[in-house]
Structure 1
Amino acid sequence: MIKNRTAEVTAALILVAPFVLIYAVLFIYPTIQMVAMSFTNAPLIGEGEWIGLKNYTKMFADRRFQTSVINTFYFVLLTVVPNTLIGLGIAMMVNRLKGWQQSIILALFFLPYILPVSVVFRIWNWMFDMQFGVMQFPIEFLFGQRVPVFRTPALFLPAVAFVTIWWTCGFNILLFLAGLRSISPEMYEAASLDNAGRWKQFTRITWPLIWPVTALVLTIQLILQLKIFDQVYLFVQGGRADPSMVMVQYIYTTAFQKSQGGYGATIAVALFVIIIAMSVLQFTVLRARGEK
């Protein structure tokens, strides 16, 4: 028994060791280095002097850092819940289709997700173009004139959020569709026999049973949108970045453009803590909601 147990543990360690080694090299070690660097005034490349908590003191008094935090949370508010609800709604409609119709519609919704961000930027930069963009027609109808959306601070983040939802919604649809397919049709048949309408079937059967999938989608979306960078960086080109600065963009500007590696690492540590805290808090709340 002891020999068998030892053999099982040894085999498990051998199988797990490559993952642990890669995880340590690619995540744990860089994280430790990032935290250590945040206590120095090091440039992007090279050593720096130990300055203690001066970077953190500077960060909390930094107006641009405060702006980036506000914009990041505003973007999360614009995208996480709407993206989840839209994905759920489309998945429920797609789930009612059968055969080749379902495959085609699902492929059309998932197609944007496989596009690189540079292609998404080109598509929507053209769509919102002041001269020939097709999106300017509804904008002109609503505002009475054509508007440079990506040059207007009040419209910039909502427009990028709209593009982001269009781009990433396909993945959410797939997750929700997998959850919907796991629900037995017999449950809906039994509910129909009890004269339960569609809304009651959704609130009593569909929503509770796909809640774990909903919690997963919300958590994934929260982490992804807290790290928003690509879309904002591309769409802000040619405009003033400060009003629309998000946290990852500020890290990039500070560390890579200004070569302030120590201060950039400090902002990265702050983002790291925010992501962990928000993810744990959301997961705990959602799990508690699912257990009720």
Structure 2
Amino acid sequence: MAVLLILPFVAIYGLVFIYPTIKMFILSFTDAPLIGAGDWVGLENYERLPRDRRFHTALWNTFYFVALTVIPGTLVALVISLGINRLKGRLQSLVLALFFLPYILPVSVVYLIWDWTLNFQFGIAMHLFDWAGADRIPVFKSTAWFMPAVGFVTIWWTAGFSILLFLAGRRAIPEEIYEAASLDNSGSWSTFSRVTWPLMWPVTALVSTIQLILQLKIFDQVYLFSQGGRPNDNLVLVYYVFQRAFQSNQGGRAAAVAVVLFVIVIVVSVLNFQLTRLSGGRRK
């Protein structure tokens, strides 16, 4: 009976995940185009990667973007959630809804909002630069500014879900613990560092791991904000897979990059979650 209950899930999981993953690994050892068969080339696609300048750029930009977003985004969500938790009633619901609203927006809408805001020619923020007497900054056309700007937009866009998780973790802490801390004349910082932070560490591990997986697979924002700019300077790994597969029709080489990204996501996510849990255990 149990087998019959889980069989539909196993069948769907195998069809939409296991089978495509196996095909991707096999494809990475061939010179196949995006659609159609190819000849077996062994490790040739992987051996090309260390000599591929665009792959190096994509790898560097991906990890740079992760550094800009994962830890800062986690800390921002934690601080906001603690502030929202202090509110009561409808005000709390309203503020939480305002912070969660960007998360439900499609990436195209997020792109339009921030393009209207930071566009070099007509962006609202550029008019503020003019008012202050400062030079305008071509945020999405400059290699130096591009990744920090997209990282900021991504934190604004995705923080709502992390805030919700942190808020749930904070509400799971019994209020009796805080009452006992107040009786011991514990200050705000002492209560946070000795009570709130250690007890919310498992949620922090979960949020940072989710953010790490999401940001390693960054594509949409980079692709949209690169339009009309210098896309090869802004490459990330998924964008590079897109270029190889859909623009150069090199399915085998694209699959090799996808396999590398797949391994990176698995290894880095597991290490991050385990290290976060171990460090949390030592804090208790």
- TM-score normalised by the chain length of structure 1: 0.94
Tell me which residue corresponds to 1:273.
263
Counterpart residue identity of residue 32, structure 1: I
Distance 2:160 2:204 in 1: 14
Letter in 1 for 2:179: E
Out of 60-69 and 134-143, give the one that drifted further: 134-143
Flag structure 1 segments of 5+ consecutive residues without an equivalent.
Answer: 1-10
Number of the residue aligned with 1:110? 100
- Specify the SS of the correspondent of 1:44: coil
The 1:88–1:276 alpha-carbon spacing in structure 2 relative to 1, beyond 3 Å, is same
Shift of 1:248: 0.2
TM-superposition CA deviations, 1:135-176 (whole Å, max 9, x none): 225656899300111001100000000000000000000000
Contact 1:42–1:49 (CA under 8 A) maintained in structure 2? yes
Q: Pick from 21, 25, 42 the counterpart of residue 52 of structure 1.
A: 42
Which of 21, 34, 57 is the equivalent residue of 1:67?
Answer: 57
Supply the distance in 1 between the matched residues of 2:275 and 2:38 (Cα, whole angstroms): 42
Which structure 2 residues correspond to residues 137-286 of structure 1 after superposition, within 5 A? Answer: 137=127, 144-286=134-276
Moved more, 191-200 or 134-143: 134-143
Q: 1:142 to 1:179 in 2, by over 3 A?
A: farther
TM-aligned CA distance change 1:142 to 1:19, over 3 Å: farther
Q: Is it true that 1:24 corresponds to 2:24 in the alignment?
A: no
Partners of 2:205 and 2:43 lie apart in 1 by 37
Question: What is the RMSD of the two structures over their aligned residues, measured on CA atoms?
Answer: 1.3
1:138–1:72: structure 2 CA closer, same or farther, 3 Å change rule?
farther
Aligned to 1:5: none
**What secondary structure does 2:29 align onto?**
coil
Deviations 1:24-53 (A, max 9, x none): 111111011000000000000000000111
Query: Aligned to 2:242, what secondary structure does the other structure show?
Result: helix
> Is 1:110–1:169's contact at 8 Å kept on the other side of the alignment?
yes
Question: Aligned residue pairs: how many?
Answer: 282
Q: Which 5+ residue runs of structure 2 have no aligned equivalent?
A: none
